[in-house]
Structure 1
Amino acid sequence: MNIKSLLLVIISLGTGGLIYAQNFPKDTLRYEITYDYSYQVNKEDTLSKQKELMALYIAKDFSYYISLNQKKLLDMARDYEVSKVLPDRKALSRSKINYTIVKEYSTIKSIFIDRIGQGTYTYNQNLDKFDWKLQEEQKDILGYNCKKATTEFAGRTYVAWYTTEISIADGPYKFRGLPGLILSIYDTNKHYQFTVASIKNSSSFCNTGEQLQKPTQITYEEYKQLKKRYKEKPSSLINSGGMTFPKEMLDLADQRAKEKMKFENNPMELTD
């Protein structure tokens, strides 16, 4: 797919379909944090590890977590929609991580947004609760003194390192609830690892509603069914976004999905 076609698809994802009204939070940021995210898609194959640079934007009452490549692609699509000037191909990076998470501290709610096929969907739920076990062990990360903690989440045991020097009870992905910012967290098999890459103060204004593709509101149960359906037979959703693809392409997508399901047998969340 060429650059123009890709940007047009991204634009169509953001403007088409059944769009709902949601008050996405907006405010001046306090911190912009990046994490190196490493994950192993096949539990037996250490060579199946993949990497992505993730960003956590923190304001007073919310945080916004997204792949940096995805954010760049969305920014390019918005710029192209206005200017009609194509970006340099070298600047275009495909993201493997399609979801975005907004945590609202004041309401103790989260907004989960994900792209499935040609649609973008969202569901709301309470912020996850973690039963952290605080440890005495300490170490330095990026010049910050960090303390150790452990917890269980979705079928895995995690080790986290957090700093009270940044007294924000947040972290990458859904992780939260420690007496300071999480700078590093990994499961005990080290299949899923988040390591802070940079921390900087910020005074930029962030309107999460403008940063995101306009999603369709669904429930968590509907989201799980859509993910399962797309994983098993992507052709059933590929043609649902207003664009039509030939049968040969759809059959190939279904065949590849079967092969991918066999190989990618190590999801981050093993249980609900």
Structure 2
Amino acid sequence: MIISRAMKLIRILMLCLSVQGLSLSAQMYIFPTAYGPSDKYQVIDTARYEITYQINAKLNPNPKYSFVAYEDVQTLLIGKNVSATYSRDILKAREEADEELRKRAQSVEGFYDITFPEDVFKGYPKPGELTSSYRLFLSAGYGQYTEVLPSFKWQILSESKEILGYKCQKAQGEFRGRKYIAWFTSDIPHSDGPWKFCGLPGLILAVEDTDKYFVFTCIDIKNNQSQPIRFWTYPHIKSSREKLRTIIQRMHKQPIVFCEQALGEKIYMGNTNKNRDFSFLWLWLEVE
């Protein structure tokens, strides 16, 4: 059945609080898991390449809590002028749910997996820029900002290896507090990659930070595609990266209070109001 916003939020928060002694839940479903309506978009380019990456991410730097992690699958669509990266499975689930609702279904299946919360559109709204769309908790909406394409200060090294049949060369770089190792192939001459990664003379097929908190590995490459690159037009909170970062930090520091403000409803754990002040660590790619 369709779960009300308040009931869904309580269910999610209870899963988090059930292992509060560990600071984080291994099943931290409070993470952003929803897209807006899948028919609210504008086509901004046509993709020739569809690249799929496996994401392995850790949420707690303490080795004791190494199990606090998640996996996701990310799609990179590369067009003539614009590329887009997004979480594949959550978008698929949203499209399927919208289709069922269009058929007047009385209920739709929910999506509760943890997903990578940020979509990135490189080359949009104009060359040399990117637009980021960040899914906030539950009904809090979507934050969005535009900035110049980042510089990772790449140094190309002599080492090479093969990934999915493509010869790749090693590079090292750094960006906003993290150092990265990347493997790129000149056989696909697009200076692109998952998330915000770019700036090498070829497509990045694998990249990870040196602490291995975030690992992106290409698992599939399709070329000669002809599919639209969609930019979502449902409401976003327009902001700067710095202001959105402040919102995200507050969201993780006081998730119950944050979600109450978003829902306009009080949240209670059964008949108690305890554990309202719990927080969990926000481990993100951009340290700075």
Per the normalisation by structure 1, the TM-score is 0.81
Quick check: 1:226 aligned with 2:247? yes
CA contact (8 A) 2:50 2:225 kept: no
Return the alpha-carbon distance in structure 1 between the equivalents of residues 249 and 175 of structure 2. 21
Return the alpha-carbon distance in structure 2 between the equivalents of residues 56 and 86 of structure 1. 34
Return the alpha-carbon distance in structure 2 between the equivalents of residues 146 and 222 of structure 1. 37
Quick check: 1:247 aligned with 2:264? no
Quick check: 1:215 aligned with 2:236? yes
Flag structure 1 segments of 5+ consecutive residues without an equivalent: 16-22
Residue number in structure 2 paired with 1:237: 258
Q: Secondary structure at the match of 1:76?
A: helix
Alignment equivalent of 2:132, drawn from 101, 112, 129: 112
TM-superposed deviation, 1:246: 3.4
Amino acid at match of 2:175: F
Select between 127-136 and 173-182 the one with higher mean Cα deviation. Answer: 127-136
| CA deviation map 1:187-242 (0-9, x unaligned) | 222221111010011533324235x643121222321221122112224432444x
Q: Secondary structure at the match of 1:47?
A: coil
TM-superposed deviation, 1:24: 5.8
Change (3 A) 1:54 1:121: same
Residue number in structure 1 paired with 2:54: 36
TM-superposed deviation, 1:245: 3.3
Superposition CA RMSD, Å = 3.0
Residue number in structure 1 paired with 2:118: 99
Q: How does 1:95-244 map to 2 (within 5 A)?
A: 95-104=114-123, 107-117=127-137, 118=139, 119-210=141-232, 213-241=234-262, 243-244=263-264
| CA deviation map 1:76-98 (0-9, x unaligned) | 34324422336874x94534322
CA contact (8 A) 2:143 2:237 kept: yes
Return the alpha-carbon distance in structure 2 between the equivalents of residues 146 and 87 of structure 1. 47
Flag structure 2 segments of 5+ consecutive residues without an equivalent: 10-31
Residue number in structure 1 paired with 2:80: 60
Q: Secondary structure at the match of 2:94?
A: helix
Return the alpha-carbon distance in structure 1 between the equivalents of residues 96 and 210 of structure 2. 38
Per the normalisation by structure 2, the TM-score is 0.76
Select between 173-182 and 212-221 the one with higher mean Cα deviation. Answer: 212-221
TM-superposed deviation, 1:74: 2.7
TM-superposed deviation, 1:134: 0.7
CA contact (8 A) 1:232 1:254 kept: no
CA contact (8 A) 1:229 1:236 kept: no
Quick check: 1:69 aligned with 2:89? yes
CA contact (8 A) 1:235 1:251 kept: no
